[in-house]
Amino acid sequence: MKKDTSNHLPEIHPKTGKESSSGRKWVSTRLLDDVFTDEVSLFKPHFEVDYEGYLQRLWDSNPDIFELLRKSETLEEARDHLYNYLEMAERKVFQVDNDLHILEKSTVRESIRVFRSVIGPVNEFRTEFSALDCLWKLAGNHRDEMTGKISAGFLMEFINLFRGVTGKSNIYLENDQVKKGVPEFFKLHGREAATVRMEILDELGSNMKKYFKKYPSGLEEEVVGWRAENRAKMLRYFKATEKDWNDYQWHLKHVIKDPKPLIDLIELTNDQKEAVDKAVRNKIAFGITPYYLSLMDTKLSIGYDHAIRAQVIPPKDYVDELTDHKADREISFDFMGEHDTSPVDLVTRRYPFISILKPFNTCSQICVYCQRNWEIERVLEPKAMATKEKLEEALSWFDKHKSVGDVLITGGDPLVMTNPQIENILEILSRKKQIYRIRIGSRTPVVLPMRFTDKLVEILRRYHQPPRLEIALITHFEHSYEITPEAMAAVQRIRKLGISIYNQQVYTVENSRRFELAKLRCDLKSIGVDPYYTFNMKGKEETKRYMVPIARILQERKEEARLLPGLDRTDEPVFNVPKLGKNHLRAGQDHRLVMILPDGSRVYEFHPWEKNISPVPPYNYVDVPIYDYLEELAARGENVRDYRTIWFYY
């Protein structure tokens, strides 16, 4: 198997020779060009962005808009001119003699819609920024005012938007079939048409499989062999036996909570060593089960385990942020506003039929970008179990709210509780007649699969009584490299009870390369797990380095997931609106792009699920810049041309 070295080598600046402390890898001088067809680099030597090059490309992409902006004496005059221009551009699309391909016309209409939104006065008022004002000043006599204030990411957004409104997106430029207007197989009939069509489909399938080979699962023979060596090394280190290894309680007793076992057992970068050390010194939640550590590559040069390491080894900026906010973290890091959606301790509710119950406030290991990192004190916190009084009060709450029929037990990880504690909660909930489904949110199939003992399986079997009451397991695989024979065995034990298992993956920079998530979906289905949700990375400042632009989620769904059979792509991409709940990203009518900020960030207005039901206010969200994300991909060895359509997903 070819080694993947793109993710774990130290991040060295080519000029200073120092490791990066920002979390972003240093970028080659031929990085972004303009991500479409031009080969001219827009970067100067020594990694200084050539803003003049970008600015010239901006005006070249649409000279008409440049002239309108340049000749306008006031901002409002520029706005009027642009509105008139966009109206004419849209009318042009509908003319009979317009020879643009119909798919390109669709891009034109969408670009015009977005452009109108971005220059709308009400959106300037709500976001407290005017992209139009910046463009007007850059085109005219106020250009000096913009010096140092506008990023290459901002200019790239408008380079593509300017092109989009005139039908020059270049999305289909390299496709001969689109150049001809009608694909060849449409002009043929019968077996001849089918033969030509099969050639196209075979090429798509072959290309996808080439990408799949980049992302091995833990079921592959060579990877299983590596992990067997890791396990033997760890058993020697902990003076343990194979019997110990198969005992989940042994793993819980030996959860790694300090840097020494990590340093002794696997290679770490200097940044990783410093981050773990600082996290432990400042009592920031940190922990890794021995089993999960065995999934990591012992050598940095292998590099397949990037997503596994990123789950549990905190980056320095994350540790710094949590250290700075130790006193107010419950306020600073509660992105979802759970304080405002908790009617009683241990309960969260955002929907009519569903409530969350959180009886246990810790896990067998800590995920860095956990939604509830503000709540969890430390791994395996001794006082994590709710008091008898609090638990009784929370469970009694359901008696007063009969519309709640679906209960998600989460935390923390409820399957780290003892068997009697688990059974007690299931028994009480099962007696409530309105409750027809109990979901258990747990990462144990991924990080502690030996937890599924005969006793636990028997408890789950007793309470799974369809159609009266369904038990379902919701888990969290992030990458194919986490899927192992042990995880598959645990999943199959549960599936044999008739219990369904669903996966919620968070879309991060660690699983967002071309077809990386598509491979995960296929591997999940192969062991009996149904893809359920793909979550947009939370907009939490301390985990910003993990974030992926919403445009990339939409691109992945359309250009990669769409190629899979329907049963492999059952997950739904969602954005969690603080205090309110999930917004389905595929529902374009429920969000819109309203502004582009100086650093290239898009501002989205998200409409709540209550839209068309009750007048709940929308939520404005500032996304991570596409430019920054592509920079990171390039630093990881990706060809950013593969992602060139990302700019046209809104």
Shared-domain flag, residues 478 and 624: yes
Confidence of residue 28 (pLDDT cuts 50, 70, 90): very low
38 inside domain: no
In this structure, are 379 and 469 located in the same domain?
yes
Q: Nearest 5°: phi and psi at 409?
A: -90, 120
User: Shortest CA distance to 132 belongs to which of 64, 72, 211, 90?
Assistant: 72
Whether 288 and 414 share a structural domain:
no
Same domain? For 523 and 549 the reply is yes
Residue that terminates a domain, selected from 320, 353, 383: 320
Residues 390 and 262 in one domain: no
Tell me, yes or no, whether 60 and 172 share the same domain.
Answer: yes
Q: What pLDDT score does 9 carry?
A: 31
Among 24-28, 115-119, 188-192, 358-362, the minimum mean pLDDT is found in 24-28
The answer to whether residue 575 sits within a structural domain is yes
Give the CA dihedral 300, 306, 308, 312, nearest 10 degrees.
80
CB 306 within 8 A of CB 5: no
286 three-class SS = coil
**pLDDT top residue among 143 and 234:** 234
Cα separation, 319 vs 280, in Å, equals 10
Q: Measured between alpha carbons, how far is 351 from 341 in angstroms, rounded to an integer?
A: 10
- Do residues 385 and 314 both lie within one domain? no
Report the 10 Å Cβ neighbour count for 97: 5
347 and 383 in a single domain? The answer is: yes
Answer yes or no: are the C-beta atoms of 259 and 273 closer than 8 Å.
yes
Digit-coded pLDDT (tens) for 33-83: 444 444 333 433 334 677 888 999 999 999 999 999 999 999 999 999 999
Q: Which residues neighbour 243 within 8 Å (Cβ) at sequence distance 6 or greater? A: none
Q: What is the mean pLDDT of residues 295-301?
A: 94
| Pair (358, 280) in one structural domain | no
Domain count, the chain: 3
C-alpha–C-alpha distance, residues 549 and 58, integer Å: 22
Range of the domain at 280: 221-320
Residue 26: what pLDDT?
29
Within a domain: 195: no
Asked whether the predicted pLDDT for residue 396 surpasses 60, the reply is yes
Strand partners for 356: 348, 408
User: Which of these ranges, 168-182, 261-275, 382-396, 613-627, has the smallest mean pLDDT?
Assistant: 168-182
pLDDT-based confidence at residue 32 (cuts at 50, 70, 90): very low
Q: Are residues 450 and 509 in the same domain?
A: yes
Q: In this structure, how many other beta carbons lie within 10 angstroms of the beta carbon of residue 331?
A: 10
Please say if the pLDDT value at position 89 is more than 50: yes
Which pLDDT score is estimated for 46?
37
Given CA atoms 150, 156, 161, 167 in this order, what sign does their dihedral have?
A: positive
Three-state DSSP at 344 gives strand
In a domain, 18, yes or no: no
Domain-located, residue 373: yes
Weakest-pLDDT range from 94-103, 245-254, 528-537: 94-103
pLDDT band at 239 (very low <50, low <70, confident <90, very high): very high
Q: What is the pLDDT at residue 446?
A: 98
Q: Is 220 helix (H, G, I), strand (E, B) or coil?
A: coil
d(CA 411, CA 440): 10
Res 39: pLDDT: 33
Determine the Cα–Cα distance for residues 47 and 200; give it in Å rounded to an integer.
41
pLDDT category at 488 given cuts 50, 70, 90 is: very high
Q: How far apart are CA 246 and CA 230, in angstroms?
A: 15
Q: Which tokens is 488 given?
A: 């598959």
User: 382: cis peptide before it, omega within 30°?
Assistant: no
Tell me if residue 345 falls in helix, strand or coil: coil
Helices marked H in 501-636 — which ranges?
A: 516-527, 550-559, 626-635
Last residue of one domain, picked from the residues 292, 320, 348? 320
Q: Is residue 209 domain-resident?
A: no
Q: Is residue 40 part of a domain?
A: no
Q: What is the CATH number of the domain that holds 533?
A: 3.20.20.70
Establish if 395 belongs to a structural domain: yes
Report the chain's C-alpha Rg in angstroms.
26
Identify the domain boundary among 289, 320, 351.
Answer: 320
Is pLDDT of 451 > 50? yes
Rounded distance between C-alpha atoms, residue 526 and residue 464, angstroms: 24
Let me know whether 500 and 407 are in one domain.
yes
Provide, rounded to the nearest whole percent, the portion of the chain with pLDDT above 70: 88
| Higher pLDDT pick, 55 / 318 | 55
Q: Are residues 641 and 582 in the same domain?
A: yes
Q: Which amino acid is at 523?
A: D
Q: What pLDDT, in 10s, does the model give residues 491-537?
A: 999 999 999 999 999 999 999 999 999 999 999 999 999 999 999 98
